[in-house]
Amino acid sequence: MSRRVGVIRFPGTNCEFDTVDAINELGGEAKVVWHGDSDLGDVDAIVIPGGFAHGDYLRCGAIARFSPIMDAVSTFARNGGPVLGICNGFQVLTEAGLLPGALQKNAGLKFLCRMEQIQFASTANVVGLGASVGDLLNIPINHFEGNYVCAKETLKQLEEENRIVFRYTDNPNGSIGDIAGISNKRGNVVGMMPHPERATSMLLGSNDGSSLLQSLLSTERAPSTNENVASTHDERI
């Protein structure tokens, strides 16, 4: 049972406390981990929350991979530890080479902040425990660069390997294949643009994010293998 969750905080991160509160409400023990630290401490799962890591300078998430903590996050991920990147956290995971593809500006050139309906396309990952393919969730998005893009071969690979976790039912940002979230091959690393931590109470308009975070808390660490040990750029192209 994953209970202790490290929530990574970069300069410019702004969703860390919402994430900590949401996890603690669900019975987890979340703590904020500073990006300048090189040790994650004793954690069972990691969340890279939303915001503007390092001011989104150069490209969203591009500088974050140089933060000292990211070596530990990469090692944790490659050893099968559950990692969830939300919004800017998703961008950080792609730039760090832990997930393929990139997030470009929304097709409509508008910052979008609203509730979206997404659908589970795969549950073979750390947020899918107890869910079924086809399940519909209402979870808000809050982004300008959420338009997922990848090479055609990568898209084919994601589909064949069952790594598309969520699709939008009404694509808001132009993402290829209506993709709202993907996982790595083993399913222990998930990146998603919608914010589950903001959908954890009916007071917020939806409680559908709770089950995703609960799944992260409950998932066992994937078996440690050498599979998928990619250097920084291997996953990106």
Partner 1 sequence: MRFEVKIEVLPREGIANPEGSTIERTLPALGFETAGDVRVGKVIRLQVEADSTDTARAIVEDMCDRFLCNPVIEDAIVEVLTA
Please pick, among 35, 54, 143, 195, the residue that the annotation labels catalytic.
195
CB 200 within 8 A of CB 25: yes
Among 116, 145, 197, 235, the active-site one is 197
Binding mask 169-188 for partner 1 (x = CB under 8 A): -----x--------------
The least distance separating partner 1 from the CB of residue 236, rounded to whole angstroms, comes to: 6
Q: Given the complex with partner 1, which of 73 and 103 has the nearer CB atom?
A: 103
Minimum distance, C-beta of residue 102 to partner 1, in the bound complex (Å): 4
Closest by Cα among 100, 92, 85 to 64:
92
Q: How far apart are the first and last CA of the chain?
A: 34
Are the C-beta atoms of 44 and 221 separated by less than 8 Å?
yes
User: Is 68 an interacting residue with respect to partner 1 (CB under 8 A)?
Assistant: no
Asked whether 120 and 135 are in contact (CB, 8 A), the reply is yes
Please report which helix (H) or strand (E) contains residue 164, including its range.
strand 164-168
**Does residue 151 touch partner 1 according to CB under 8 A?**
yes
Other CB atoms within 10 Å distance of the CB of residue 139? 26
Among 75, 169, 224, 232, binds partner 1 (CB under 8 A): 232
Considering only 149, 157, 204, 210, the residue that binds partner 1 (CB under 8 A) is: 149
CB of 109 to partner 1, least distance (A): 4
Q: What's 144's DSSP letter?
A: S
Of 173, 130, 138, 178, nearest to 155 by C-alpha is 178
Measured from the CB of residue 106, what is the shortest distance to partner 1 in angstroms? 7
Stretch that binds partner 1, among 2-10, 49-57, 70-78, 143-151 (CB under 8 A): 143-151
Q: How far apart are CA 82 and CA 143, in angstroms?
A: 24
Does 230 contact partner 1 by CB under 8 A? no
Task: Give yes or no for residue 95 binding partner 1 (CB under 8 A).
Answer: yes
CB atoms within 10 A of CB 232: 13
* Pick 137 or 193: Cβ nearer partner 1: 193
Per-residue tokens: 17: 């406390």
Q: What are the residues facing 206 on neighbouring strands?
A: 201
The yes-or-no answer on residue 197 being catalytic is yes
Contact residues for partner 1, defined by CB under 8 A: 58-59, 62, 94-95, 100-102, 104-109, 147, 149-151, 174, 232-233, 236-237
Catalytic positions are: 87, 195, 197
